[in-house]
Structure 1
C-alpha cells in the first residue's frame, strides 16, 4: 500500500492512498470530519452501508465500529482532508455552553455533502499542508470554526459532540450479535461493552459457551454464505464486509466449513 499523509497538527491531515483499495476495520477514538478530494469510500456498519465520493463531506462519531474500504477513482488516488474532533478539543469548545443532557445512544454517520460553508472551511486548510512555519493556534481556530458550522447545519449534533461519556456496560449478546463482522482486538470489544479484557472473555464464555474467536469465525462464515447465496454478492466484497482480512484465508475457512470455495458456490448460481 502506497500511503502518504501530511499533517498540520496530529488532528488535521491530508491523507492519500495510491493502491487499488485499502480496507480496515476501525473503532474511531475521535469524531472524524472527512472531506473527499478524490477517490471513493465504502463504509460498512452493522445496520447501514455508506458510499462517499469526490466532494462529499461527512462526520463519523467516535466509538463507532466500521469497515472502511478506500478506492482510487478515475485515475486519481483516494485523497481526503481529515479533521479529528477530539474529546479534549470538544470539551474546550463546549465549556460554559448549556447543552441538552440526552446523548444519542447510536449516533449515525452524518453527511454534509457540497455545503459551501463547511467546504470553504476545509478547503482553506489545503495551502497549510505545504508550509513549515504555521501559526501556533491555527488548528484550534479551524477546529472551532468547523464545530460552529456543524452546529448550524444540524441541531442534533450537540448531542453527539458534547457527549463525553465512556461506554457503559452493555448486554454482551446483543452487542456481539450486532457487531461480529468487525475484525477488532478483543480488548476493543471489551472496552466498547464496558468490560476489561478478562471480564469480557469470562462473560463471553458464559453467554456463548465457546471462545470469542471461534464464535466470531462461525458467525462471519454464516453471514458470508447468506450474502453469497441470497444477496448474490461477489466473494471479494463478501470477504471484507464480513470481517476477514484476505481472500485466501476467507476461501480456506469457507471451504472447510461448507465444502465449497466461495468462487465455486457462485459458479453454481
Structure 2
C-alpha cells in the first residue's frame, strides 16, 4: 500500500492512497472534516453505511467506531483534504460563545456534498501543500475557525456535538456491544468506549454474556455475515470487511468452521 500524507500542520493534511484498497477500523479521538478530491470510500458505522466520492464533504464525529474502506476511482487515487477539529481548538472557539452542550443530535456522520462555502474553505488549502516552508500557524487557526463557523451556520444543532467535550462514560455494556460488535477493535478499545478499564470490561462482559469477548464477537460477526450473504446478497469480499474480519482467508476459515460450508459456497447456492 502506497500512502502519503502531507501535513501543513498536525491538524491539516492532504492524504493520498494509490493502491487498489485500504481498510482500517478506527475510533477518531477528534472530529474529522474531510473533502474528497478523488477516489471513493465506504464507511461502516453502527447507524449505517456511508458512501463518499469526488466532491463530497463530510464530518466524522469523535469516539464513534467505524470501518473505513478506501479505493481509487476512474484511474485516480483516493485523495482527500483532512481537517482535524481538536478538542483544544473547539474549546477555544466556544469559550467566546454562550453555547452549552446538550443532548443534541446523535453523533453520526454529517454530509455536506459540494457545499460552496465549505468547498471554498478546504480547496483554498490545496496550493499550500505544494509550497516549501512552514505553514503559518495563525493562518491555520483562521482556516479552522472559518470551517467551524461555516458548519455552525449550515447546521446550528451541531453546537451540541462540537461543544461537547465529555469523555466516554460508563454505558450499558449489552446495548453498546450489540450495536458495535462488527468493528475489529481490541478489547481495550471497547473498554475505553464503554467507560471501563480492560479488567472491568472483561469482568462485566463475562457477567453479561457468559463467555469471552473474542468468542462472542466472532459468533456475532459470523451470524451477521451469514445474513448479509443470504438476505442481502452481498459479495463475500464485501461481507468480510464489513463484519470485522481482517482478510478473506481468515473469514472463510471461521465461517466454514461455524456453518460447515464456505461463504463462496453459500453465495453460489
Q: Tell me the TM-score normalized by structure 2.
A: 0.97
8 Å CA contact 2:47–2:108 kept in 1: the answer is no
Q: CA deviation at 1:103?
A: 3.5
* Residue number in structure 1 paired with 2:210: 209
Q: Structure 1 residues 196, 248: closer, same or farther in 2, change over 3 A?
A: same
Answering whether residue 57 of structure 2 is matched by residue 57 of structure 1, we say yes
* DSSP-derived class of the 2:145 partner: helix
Is residue 19 of structure 2 the alignment partner of residue 41 of structure 1? Answer: no
CA distance in 2, matches of 1:51, 1:265: 26
Displacement of 1:108 after TM fit? 1.4
- Aligned partner of residue 255 in structure 1, secondary structure: helix
Task: Find the counterpart in structure 1 of residue 152 from structure 2.
Answer: 151
Alignment pair present for 1:140 and 2:174: no
Equivalent in the alignment of 2:182: 181
Task: Quote the Cα distance in structure 2 between the aligned partners of 1:135 and 1:221.
Answer: 50
Secondary structure in 2 aligned to 1:164? coil
Asked if 1 retains the 8 angstrom alpha-carbon contact of 2:40 and 2:70, the reply is yes
> Once the 2 structures are TM-superposed, how far is the Cα of residue 100 of structure 1 from its aligned partner?
3.6
Structure 1 counterpart SS, 2:251: helix
Give the CA deviation at 1:105. 6.6
Does the Cα contact within 8 Å between 1:121 and 1:142 map onto a contact in 2? yes
Alignment of 1:243-258 (within 5 A): 243-258=244-259
Matched residue, 1:98: 98
Structure 2 residue runs of 5 or longer lacking an equivalent are none
Which segments of 5 or more consecutive residues in structure 1 lack a partner in the other structure? Answer: none
* Aligned-CA RMSD value: 1.0
8 Å CA contact 1:103–1:163 kept in 2: the answer is: no
1:234 and 1:218 map into 2 onto residues whose CA distance is 20
Work out the CA distance in 2 between the residues paired with 1:106 and 1:214.
Answer: 30
Corresponding residue number in structure 1 for 2:2: 2
Output the TM-score relative to the length of structure 1.
0.97
- Count the aligned residue pairs: 268
Structure 1 residue 151 displacement after superposition: 0.7
Shift of 1:30: 0.6
Q: Which residue of 2 aligns with 1:167?
A: 168
- Report the Cα offset of residue 134 of structure 1: 2.3
1:86-137 Cα offsets, whole Å, 9 max, x none, are 1011001111311143133731111111111110100110111122132232
